[in-house]
């Protein structure tokens, strides 16, 4: 089961990346698949040269991913607030609070950390509050 409320947010992130030259420049060398798992629902975010090209929904053990960020919908909603509470301001803050885990190729995440953090924070500027 995929959370219907999360689909438009992920689609909005893709549109905002394409409309933001700064993000395209940051992600120019990033072409990977990232697993975002929220409450057990899987979202495979397929990036090519910094653009979020496709989003595949639903668990699929055959889809390879480079790293995964796993969290719950409540923590993600708090993360996306315009002014998040302490600990909910950053993906590593979520991990420290025990509200998220990060698996896979951590080096790839760290090499592209600013890009990943900025695209995940895009919904903070939207009307999700």
How confident is the model over 20-42, as pLDDT tens digits? Answer: 999 999 999 999 999 999 999 99
Q: 63 is written with which tokens? A: 């889809």
Pairing mode of beta strands 67-71, 33-38 = parallel
Between CA 73 and CA 81 the distance in angstroms is 13
Q: Which domains does the chain have, with CATH numbers?
A: 6-122 (3.30.1050.10)
How confident is the model at residue 3, as a pLDDT?
Answer: 66
The alpha carbons of the chain give a radius of gyration, in whole angstroms, of: 14
pTM: 0.89
How many angstroms separate the Cα of 75 from the Cα of each of 31, 61, 78, 93, 127? 27, 25, 5, 11, 17
Q: Which long-range contacts (CB under 8 A, 24 or more apart) does 109-115 make?
A: 109/67, 112/26, 112/27, 112/29, 112/30, 114/26, 115/23, 115/26, 115/27, 115/30, 115/50
pLDDT in tens, 48-103: 999 999 999 988 888 899 999 999 999 999 999 999 999 999 999 999 999 999 99
33: β partners? 46
Vertex 112 angle, CA 121 and 21, to 5°: 65
């Amino acid at each position: 089961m995929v959370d219907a409320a999360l689909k438009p947010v992920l689609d909005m992130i893709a549109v905002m990346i394409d409309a933001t030259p700064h993000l395209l420049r940051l992600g120019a060398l990033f072409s990977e698949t990232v697993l975002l798992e929220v409450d057990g629902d899987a979202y495979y975010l397929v990036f090519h040269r910094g653009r979020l090209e496709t989003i595949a929904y639903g668990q699929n053990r055959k889809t390879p991913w480079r790293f995964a960020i796993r969290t719950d919908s409540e923590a993600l909603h708090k993360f996306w607030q315009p002014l998040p509470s302490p600990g909910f301001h950053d993906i590593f803050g979520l991990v420290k609070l025990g509200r998220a885990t990060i698996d896979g190729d951590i080096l790839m995440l760290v090499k592209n950390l600013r890009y990943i953090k900025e695209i995940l924070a895009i919904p903070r500027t939207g009307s999700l509050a």
